[in-house]
Amino acid sequence: MLRKINSFVKYRLARARKGLRRFRRSVPLHSSTPLLLYLLVLLVLDTTAQRSEQGWIWQNPKPQGNPLLSIHFAKDKQNGFAVGADNTILHTQDGGFNWENQSGPTDVTLSDVFVKDRKNAVAVGTRGAIFITDTGGKEWRQAKADVKDHLYGVTFGGEELKMGWAAGTYGRIMRTSDGGLTWTALASGTDQHILKISAFDASKVAAAGVNGLVLITTDGGDTWRSSTPCGAVVMSGARFINPETIVAAGYGGCVVRSTDGGETWNRVNLFSRSDLLSVSFSNEKSGSMTDANGLVWLTGDGGQSWLPFNVRTNPRLAANYFADKFTGWAVGSDGLIVRTDDGGYTWQRLTEGGREDVNDIAFFDSEYGVAAGAGGRIWITNDAGTNWLPVHSDVSANLNAIHFVNADKGWIVGDRGTVLRTINGGASWGKGISGTTDDLQGVYFVGEKTGFAVGANGKIIRTTTGGAYWEPMVSSTNAWLEDIKFISPNKGIIVGDGGTILATLDGGTTWSKVKTNAAENIYAVSFFDEKIGTAVGANGLILRTADGGLSWTDVESPSRANLFAVAS
Pairing of β 151-157 and β 194-199 = unpaired
3-state helix, strand, coil in the chain (%, to 5): 5, 40, 55
Closest to 545 (Cα-Cα) out of 557, 534, 530:
534
**pLDDT for residue 557:** 87
- For the chain, the domains span 17-29+49-56+354-515, 68-349
pLDDT value of residue 313: 65
pLDDT in tens, 450-491: 999 999 999 999 999 999 999 999 998 999 999 999 999 999
Query: Does pTM top 0.85 for this prediction?
Result: no
Q: Which fold has domain 68-349?
A: Methylamine Dehydrogenase; Chain H (2.130.10)
The answer to whether the CB of 339 falls within 8 A of the CB of 347 is yes
pLDDT at 12: 29
Region 204-224: what's the mean pLDDT?
Answer: 97
DSSP string across 258-272: ESSTTSS-EEE--S-
Question: Of 51, 59, 53, nearest to 13 (Cα)?
Answer: 59
Pick the more confident residue, 315 or 434: 434
What pLDDT score was predicted for residue 112?
Answer: 97
pLDDT of residue 37: 35
Contact 205, 166 (CB under 8 A): no
pLDDT > 50? residue 2: no
16 CB burial (10 A radius; 0-12, 13-18, 19+): middle
pLDDT reported for residue 265? 98
pLDDT (tens digit, 9 = 90+) per residue, 492-530? 999 999 999 999 999 999 999 999 989 999 999 999 999
What pLDDT is attached to residue 314?
64
Mean pLDDT of all residues in 382-403 = 91
Note the CATH number of domain 17-29+49-56+354-515: 2.130.10.10
How large a percentage of the chain has pLDDT more than 70?
Answer: 89
CA 129, CA 146: separation in Å to the nearest integer? 10
CA–CA distance, 220 with 18 (Å, rounded to integer) = 51
Phi, psi torsion values for 170, nearest 5 degrees: 55, 35
pLDDT reported for residue 207: 98
Q: Residue 5: its pLDDT value, please?
A: 26
Cβ-contact 269, 253 below 8 angstroms: no
The tens digit of pLDDT for each residue in 95-152 reads 999 999 998 999 999 999 999 999 999 999 999 999 999 999 999 999 999 999 999 9
Of residues 346, 348, 324, the one with CA closest to residue 336: 348
Please give the share of the chain, as a percent, with pLDDT higher than 90: 77
> Which residues are CB-neighbours of 34 under 8 A, at least 6 positions away?
none
C-alpha distances (whole Å) from 221 to each of 128, 204, 208, 209 are 19, 8, 14, 16
| Residue 48: pLDDT over 70 | no
- The model's pLDDT over 13-29, given as tens digits with 9 standing for 90+, comes to 333 333 333 333 333 33
Spell out where 364-473 has E strands. 369-373, 378-381, 389-391, 399-404, 410-414, 419-422, 430-431, 440-445, 451-455, 460-463, 471-473
> For residue 43, what pLDDT is reported?
35
- Average pLDDT, integer, range 296-321: 88
CA distances from 79 to 91, 93, 181, 278, 492 (A): 7, 4, 21, 21, 57
**48 compared with 386, residue with greater pLDDT:** 386
Judged by DSSP in three states, 348 sits in strand
At residue 389 the predicted structure's pLDDT band, cuts being 50, 70 and 90, is confident
Query: Which pLDDT belongs to residue 30?
Result: 33
Q: How confident is the model at residue 163 (pLDDT cuts 50, 70, 90)?
A: very high
Q: Are 531 and 540 in contact (CB under 8 A)?
A: no
Whether 31 shows a pLDDT value over 80: the answer reads no
Identify the pLDDT of residue 156.
Answer: 98
pLDDT attached to residue 446:
96
Phi and psi torsions of 456, nearest 5°: -65, 150
Domains 17-29+49-56+354-515 and 68-349 agree in fold: yes
* Spatial distance between the Cα atoms of 265 and 230, rounded to a whole number of angstroms: 9
Average pLDDT, the chain: 88
Instruction: Give the SS3 label for residue 520.
Output: coil
378 bridge partner residues: 372, 391
Q: Which pLDDT value is given to residue 476?
A: 87
Per-residue confidence band for 353, with pLDDT thresholds at 50, 70 and 90: low
